[in-house]
Structure formats: C-alpha cells, structure tokens
Amino acid sequence: MDLSFTGEELAFREEVRAFLEASVPAETRRAVLEGLEVSRDDTVRWQQILHRRGWGGPNWPKEFAGTGWDPVRQYIFEEESAAAGAPRLLPFGLKMVGPVIMRFGNAAQQKRFLPRILSGEDWWAQGYSEPGSGSDLASLKTRADRRDGHYLVNGQKTWITLAQHANWIFCLVRTDPAVKKQAGISFLLVDMKSRGVTVRPITLLDGSQEVNEVWFEDVEVPFENLVGDENSGWTYAKFLLGHERTNIAGVGASKRELARLKRIASEERKDGKPLLADPGFAARVAQVEIDLMALEITNLRVLAAEADRRAPGAEASLLKIKGTQIQQAISELMMHAAGPLALPLRRGATEDVPGARSAAPSHAARLGATYLNLRKTSIYGGSNEIQKNIIAQTILGL
C-alpha cells in the first residue's frame, strides 16, 4: 500500500495551510494551541469563515453544498486544521444530524436545515442519553405522543454537550411503548426555543459547564420535524452513532497534542535533563505515537467507506476505543511531564491568582483540567466496553 500523497494532494495541503495561516483569528489560534476554552462566538465565526470559502461542509457531498472532497482531502483538511489551531468544527450538525437528514430526511427538511448548518446559523445538540439510558440507549423513556398536528414530548435528556448554546436538538423519543424497545423509537428535530424546553447546566470537576440536563414538558413538535418513518429511529440512531464514534477518534487533534507533549517533555528540568531523555518515558511516548499511526490508517479506511456512502461499521468502534485511549494516554503523559505545575484543576484558575501566570509556564496551566475532562471520552458515544461487545459480535462472531 502506497501511503504517500500524490502531487495533487500535496498541492491541496499547501492550499489548506495557506488558507488556515491567513484565516484563523490569532486569539482563537492561541486559545486552541494552549488548551484554553474556545467561545461560542469564536466557533460560529470559524464556521462562517469556512462557509464563505466554500469549505463549510468538508465531509459533505457537493449535492448538499459540501466540498465533495475524497477521504484523503478530508483527512488532510482535518489534520492541518488541528495543527494550525483552528477551532474544532461542531460535530452535532456537520457529522451527526446533517448526514442523517441527507440520508433519511425528506426534500423539505434537507432544504430547511442543511444550509443553516453550513452557514453556522443553527447550533445543534444531541438528545440521546437519559438518566438510566446511556449505554443501554434503547431503554430511553422520553415520550412523544401524537396530538392534532404535532407530537407532545415529555421526558429528560442528560449529559447534553453544549446545549446551553444550541437552538436545535435532535432527539430519540419513544413513540410506541407496546413493541420491542428498539422498534418503538423515532427521530425528532426539536426547536430549543419551544415552550416547555428547559436547560440545566451540570458543573464538571474542572469547573466548566460543558454538559447539561434538558427537560421537555409538554413540548409541541410538528409532525414535519419527524425524520424518516415513525418508529424507525433506531436505524437512524445506529447510522448516526457510527459517524459520532468516527469523529471521537480525533486523530488530527491527537497529533497536535502529541507534538505539544514532546515540546513540554523536551524542556530542561532542575537536573538539567529533559524528561524525554529518560528511556522509560521516551518509550511510553513512542508507543503512543505508534498507536496513533495505526489509528490514522484505520481512520482513512473508514473515511473511504463513507465516500462509498456506506455507514461506518465495527471499524467505527475500533476508532472510538483506540482514539479515546490515545487521548487519555497523551493527557496522562503531559501531567507527568509538567509535574506539580499541572495541579490547578479549574480552567482559568491561574488568572485568578496574582503572580500565578509567572510561576507556571502557560502550557501547564490547564493540563489538570484537560486530564479530568478527558476521562469522559471512554464513556460517551457508547462506552468502550460496549464497543468491545460490538466488535466481538460483528467481527469475531461471538
């Protein structure tokens, strides 16, 4: 297998690099590269910049105003974006509900929702997990009952990422409680401004409010916001989860963070020797790098399957497991490299303490918060244990 880029692909990479260098706002770039939080406005602004360039949908086909890029160009764009400090593109619209609407939505839904995802006008949230219905998602209890001209939705979703910013949420809801649990689920698009929708933040260990509870109390949702057929939502959910797990792998971001780890570990310590000179530590870094290279190749294979309009299969579970393990391993090694300087756990803590910024290098200020935050990655999107079951059943036939 020839893994070298062609001349055309190398030229495309240079085009992407030049665009990123000229277009990523300096403050946004600094925030991304130093592990700071990126604001809602910065995220939306970056999506709008890409949209004006015609690159708002890097993974979308041209028929829906996407770039139509092949898997290699998608990969080059994501890798270069991560390395350049560009904000992460919101996956909930671009890589989750967008592909579902393209595949299963009707023409009116495609015309209404897809352009607003590309332009950054709509910020989507994912309404899947519920208290007691996380890994066993099919046991969800949020109800959608038919009324005159609409569904009446009641229930609770939890761990909803960035719902405080969202104006739309796609939800799995139970529309037929009398059948097998996977068979009675539908896929609804809900306007977050609807009466009866309440968002309640959940404060995490690092002090951030990244996730939320979302409550639905007699929320009216028009029938026209049902995607596909009623009671077929489980099929659409599985399709979407394949895309989510592929995205969670985060190859480009991990390559950027691996380079950052090497910079931190190359700095001289009090004994005059950098930690990277320690054979034991260097071996751990090398192992992570080898794992990341293998993950990268698997990711390209999954992207190739998507280009053929095939939903990711068990390979997506492999990406999810290994991708999250690599992210956690890199954060652990960063904590080791920074030592006690990484102790402040709350994002922004050093800004609250006079002289704190001069006492610790900027790269260490938020490593503790990042380490804690990344503990979740092996749980959300379907826990890694669930992914191992999928692999065992689908690939090994167990």
In residues, how long is the chain?
398
Please report where in the chains the tokens 């579902």 appear, as a residue.
100
pLDDT higher than 70, residue 2: no
**For residues 232 and 225, what is the distance between their CA atoms, to the nearest angstrom?**
14
pLDDT higher than 50, residue 77: yes
**pLDDT single digits (tens) 340-363:** 777 655 544 444 444 444 444 556
Both tokens of 333, joined, read 């090694």
pLDDT higher than 50, residue 260: yes
pLDDT of residue 145: 97
**For residues 92 and 169, what is the distance between their CA atoms, to the nearest angstrom?**
9
pLDDT higher than 80, residue 49: yes
pTM of the predicted structure, to 2 decimals: 0.84
Lowest mean pLDDT among 6-20, 100-114, 133-147, 165-179: 133-147
pLDDT higher than 80, residue 62: yes
Lowest mean pLDDT among 110-114, 158-162, 228-232, 311-315: 311-315
pLDDT higher than 90, residue 93: yes
pLDDT higher than 80, residue 75: yes
pLDDT of residue 119: 97
pLDDT of residue 121: 97
DSSP state of 378: G
pLDDT of residue 282: 95
Residue 168 phi/psi, 5-degree rounding, is: -140, 150
Q: Which domains does the chain have, with CATH numbers?
A: 7-89 (no CATH), 124-232 (2.40.110.10), 249-394 (1.20.140.10)
Range 231-257 average pLDDT: 83
Both tokens of 100, joined, read 């579902």
**pLDDT single digits (tens) 319-337:** 889 999 999 999 999 999 8
**Is 128 strand, coil or helix?**
coil
CA 73 vs CA 6, 50, 138: distances in Å = 11, 15, 36
| 139-153: b (≥16 Cβ within 10 Å) or e | ebebebeeeeebbbb
pLDDT of residue 27: 94
Both tokens of 248, joined, read 């969670």
